[in-house]
Chains A and B, each alone.
Chain A
């Protein structure tokens, strides 16, 4: 199916674009040759997605030209696809009621006279998935699959369309390490066959690994466009934010010595898909940050959602502030001062259509608000939260969904912490957040621990855990593989964590809470 590009490649000249009065792109010049992989980096709101949409034919540029293989790219998705340009969105365009093979062939089903050749469809889907080393059955129902598999199916669909230029917006955001590695191998094969790729990512290590060239956008202009081999992650980050990124992390405060505020033994959380959480023991201490690592699907989220009553769970023993009792129900957990920040900001975290004020006060109001709303108090609390969390928004009545990813996350943190919980569980607190906002969130998390709260940080980004946590708990297929205590003033290596998470380590000293 591979079309080989016949010279020309992509030529973008002087593209400028406005949304209303806001200039999102200014005088963009960019060329991509066939057989080249370009990483588009930049903070949220820098204009990456808009540029991708223009190249992909989703919208016409305000001014300037986009040519592919010498022909202008039409502002028409289907005609752009016919020219060999395929865009993979951050949002999935898959149908949950159909199976995997049907989704991969959506709109281009093999067959004759309107009759679908199901066998051919299934075989092609299996082949496309194999190229991504995915263990997904072509006839599995889409709705039964976890979010990482959705991304893999979306990618299989995109490669299956036989593109010559592939545009991918944050393709690895929800992928685990192995899936990401498989995707990168697929990209390498695609590049070797003459395909061109433009992708965006917040993960600078990934940018360095796969891209031939890195192009950095800041405030709608290109601030850097160089071969990846010439630049360091530090250079990229500096070009993104326009200032020197000093240390992302504050020095860790010494691990406090205090009796645990929460202890659990023999925690079981059943799951419909993937390994259930079995027999988990851990303890949370005031003033301590516990990092939780593990591959996507290892049960990290489920373990803590079970702990706070958001999904059915059992525990042999649960002790909260010295009192042994049953696991709390969801509202009970909040009332007892345990807060949980979801990893799924868009569908579980914020009411995207509601104002920031409504969102910021939602949990606090549900927990301790009176029967009457208190508009003046809500505005005052929002104004305070906006300062504390540095939410950048011209107007508090702008719906939460229209904020950038970083500002949405800060709003979600404000909402989650509004009730002053003393046990704080943060699931992927910096997912989809630019590097400037990340540094702010890290300071905030360190501050929570310094105030004497027990903090849990669940994250797929190991540098984040190493930079923040006093102890790191590693999950592997539903079980706690071990807990590593970081040395005072020093750091464990990513390799140590990975060995534990892949079930390879036998010599790491395991620390089991008493």
Chain B
């Protein structure tokens, strides 16, 4: 057989259904929502769910890369609050020196850079100081959270009103009827999927998560790639705060609380292996939407109290992991 184009094997049907599990769950949720509420399928409600999901979604795209490379970042919620807080303070300060729009853009650039620097710090401690990612990011989570509390003196850090008008468009604006946050989320998801499946970086991330030793013996720059996943995560957090800041215009000590768990939950529900070695960005997008839809359906219907949202989300996470283990066991 010298045929250069070897035909790929047909994946067994059962396995393919297993891989599509999260998508099937999402479709079932949509049907459930449509049957139980008349307002569910209206454009307004759908766009509302997507917009609300976009902030966690953007963070979760970064988390997909970190987790696929056998890492973990618990600090993303606190990091979002810190980046937003510093960004707002920067924008307010720049406003004294330039036009509101220029101050906004400079501040946003600053936020992005701070996010990446925070990721670089996490990554350096994990890669070069060789501390467990869980411990490192638990530590930086505490540090960043308390910095936000200190900076806001327990209250809030507010965006200058002159800036609020300039920035509104980032969260409330729309292009061709589609809200800006949804567009950013969709573009980032498409990019993330491309990087994961079509680019060498994605393959190296997967290889390292699958077996770091094999990767090292295969000339893969293991340290550089692992570091890059944390920087990428920081950049995603920075981007998410760019949407968040114009939405509320202020940061408090509780901003971004538990976002890390929602992001990690979305990644796992989407089928990425918590132990690393297998990750898919489209799955993460599905995971985020499942979490968003559960909350939305509880709000729209009266079967259960919306206060039970956490219980439903928790159940879904446990089921997702159970299904994942069944799949890898066969």
Q: Which residues of A approach B to under 8 Å, CB–CB?
A: 310, 330-331, 334, 340, 342, 347-354, 358, 362-363, 365-367, 369-373, 376, 379-380, 382-384, 386-387, 395-398, 415
Residue B270, interface by CB 8 Å: no
A363-B218, A371-B199, A371-B201 known; 17 other A-B pairs, CB under 8 Å? A347-B213, A348-B217, A349-B214, A351-B210, A351-B211, A353-B210, A353-B277, A354-B210, A369-B200, A372-B199, A373-B203, A376-B5, A379-B4, A382-B6, A383-B4, A395-B9, A415-B218
A354-B210, A370-B200, A373-B198 are known contacts. Are A362 and B218 too (CB-CB below 8 A)? yes
Residue B44, interface by CB 8 Å: no
CB atoms of B216 and A366 under 8 A apart? no
Measured between beta carbons, the chain B residues less than 8 angstroms from A340 are 217
Q: Which of A350, A358, A372, A395 is the one whose CB lies under 8 Å from B198?
A: A372
CB atoms of A347 and B219 under 8 A apart? no
Residue B220, interface by CB 8 Å: yes
Residue B250, interface by CB 8 Å: no
A347-B214, A373-B199 are known contacts. Are A354 and B207 too (CB-CB below 8 A)? yes
A458 to chain B, nearest CB (A): 15
A173 to chain B, nearest CB (A): 20
CB atoms of A347 and B211 under 8 A apart? yes
Binary contact track B1-43/A, C-beta < 8 Å → 1, others 0: 1111110110000000000000000000000000000000000
B6 to chain A, nearest CB (A): 5
How many angstroms between the C-alpha atoms of A367 and B207 in the bound complex?
15
Measured between beta carbons, the chain A residues less than 8 angstroms from B221 are 331, 366
Measured between beta carbons, the chain B residues less than 8 angstroms from A383 are 1-6
How many angstroms between the C-alpha atoms of A369 and B218 in the bound complex?
13
Q: Which of A310, A365, A379, A397 is the one whose CB lies under 8 Å from B217?
A: A310
CB atoms of B207 and A373 under 8 A apart? no
- Chain B residue at minimum C-beta to C-beta distance from A384: B4
Task: Give residues 172-210 of B contacting A (CB, 8 Å).
Answer: 198-201, 203-204, 206-207, 210
- Chain B residue at minimum C-beta to C-beta distance from A395: B9
A354-B207, A366-B204 are known contacts. Are A349 and B4 too (CB-CB below 8 A)? no
How many angstroms between the C-alpha atoms of A371 and B203 in the bound complex?
10
- Chain A residue at minimum C-beta to C-beta distance from B328: A353
How many angstroms between the C-alpha atoms of A224 and B2 in the bound complex?
36
Q: Which of B8, B198, B201, B216 is the one whose CB lies under 8 Å from A310?
A: B216
CB atoms of A367 and B219 under 8 A apart? yes
A406 to chain B, nearest CB (A): 19
Measured between beta carbons, the chain A residues less than 8 angstroms from B198 are 372-373
Centre residue among B3, B200, B204 by max chain A CB count within 10 A: B200
Q: Which of A349, A365, A370, A384 is the one whose CB lies under 8 Å from B203?
A: A365
- Chain A residue at minimum C-beta to C-beta distance from B207: A351
Measured between beta carbons, the chain A residues less than 8 angstroms from B210 are 351, 353-354
A420 to chain B, nearest CB (A): 14
CB atoms of A366 and B5 under 8 A apart? no
Measured between beta carbons, the chain A residues less than 8 angstroms from B219 are 330-331, 334, 363, 366-367
CB atoms of B214 and A397 under 8 A apart? no
How many angstroms between the C-alpha atoms of A340 and B218 in the bound complex?
9
- Chain B residue at minimum C-beta to C-beta distance from A334: B219
Measured between beta carbons, the chain B residues less than 8 angstroms from A386 are 1
How many angstroms between the C-alpha atoms of A310 and B214 in the bound complex?
12
A78 to chain B, nearest CB (A): 21
B193 to chain A, nearest CB (A): 13
- Chain B residue at minimum C-beta to C-beta distance from A356: B6
Measured between beta carbons, the chain B residues less than 8 angstroms from A380 are 4-5
A334-B219, A362-B220, A382-B6 are known contacts. Are A371 and B200 too (CB-CB below 8 A)? yes
How many angstroms between the C-alpha atoms of A348 and B220 in the bound complex?
13
Centre residue among A348, A370, A384 by max chain B CB count within 10 A: A348
Sort A-B residue pairs by CB-CB distance and give the 5 closest, nearest first: A380-B4, A334-B219, A366-B220, A366-B219, A362-B218
Measured between beta carbons, the chain B residues less than 8 angstroms from A398 are 9
What are 12 sample pairs from A and B whose C-beta atoms fall under 8 A apart? A330-B219, A348-B213, A348-B217, A354-B207, A358-B207, A365-B203, A370-B200, A379-B6, A382-B6, A383-B3, A387-B1, A398-B9
Measured between beta carbons, the chain B residues less than 8 angstroms from A371 are 199-201
CB atoms of B2 and A387 under 8 A apart? yes
A330-B219, A383-B2 are known contacts. Are A348 and B200 too (CB-CB below 8 A)? no
How many angstroms between the C-alpha atoms of A380 and B201 in the bound complex?
21
How many angstroms between the C-alpha atoms of A384 and B214 in the bound complex?
23
A358-B203, A365-B203, A366-B219 are known contacts. Are A396 and B6 too (CB-CB below 8 A)? yes
CB atoms of B214 and A350 under 8 A apart? yes
Task: Give residues 208-263 of B contacting A (CB, 8 Å).
Answer: 210-211, 213-214, 216-221
Measured between beta carbons, the chain A residues less than 8 angstroms from B5 are 376, 379-380, 383
Measured between beta carbons, the chain B residues less than 8 angstroms from A348 are 213-214, 217
A75 to chain B, nearest CB (A): 19
A137 to chain B, nearest CB (A): 27
Measured between beta carbons, the chain A residues less than 8 angstroms from B206 are 354
CB atoms of A330 and B200 under 8 A apart? no
How many angstroms between the C-alpha atoms of A411 and B206 in the bound complex?
19
B134 to chain A, nearest CB (A): 18
Measured between beta carbons, the chain A residues less than 8 angstroms from B204 are 366
B5 to chain A, nearest CB (A): 6
Measured between beta carbons, the chain A residues less than 8 angstroms from B203 are 358, 365, 373
Task: Give residues 78-128 of B contacting A (CB, 8 Å).
Answer: none
How many angstroms between the C-alpha atoms of A397 and B5 in the bound complex?
12
Measured between beta carbons, the chain B residues less than 8 angstroms from A331 are 219, 221
B66 to chain A, nearest CB (A): 19
- Chain A residue at minimum C-beta to C-beta distance from B278: A353
- Chain B residue at minimum C-beta to C-beta distance from A381: B4
How many angstroms between the C-alpha atoms of A120 and B50 in the bound complex?
65
How many angstroms between the C-alpha atoms of A350 and B216 in the bound complex?
11
How many angstroms between the C-alpha atoms of A347 and B215 in the bound complex?
10
How many angstroms between the C-alpha atoms of A216 and B322 in the bound complex?
43
How many angstroms between the C-alpha atoms of A353 and B3 in the bound complex?
24
Measured between beta carbons, the chain B residues less than 8 angstroms from A351 are 207, 210-211, 214
Measured between beta carbons, the chain B residues less than 8 angstroms from A366 are 200, 204, 218-221
Centre residue among A370, A373, A386 by max chain B CB count within 10 A: A373
- Chain A residue at minimum C-beta to C-beta distance from B224: A331
How many angstroms between the C-alpha atoms of A372 and B1 in the bound complex?
28
B27 to chain A, nearest CB (A): 28
How many angstroms between the C-alpha atoms of A347 and B9 in the bound complex?
26
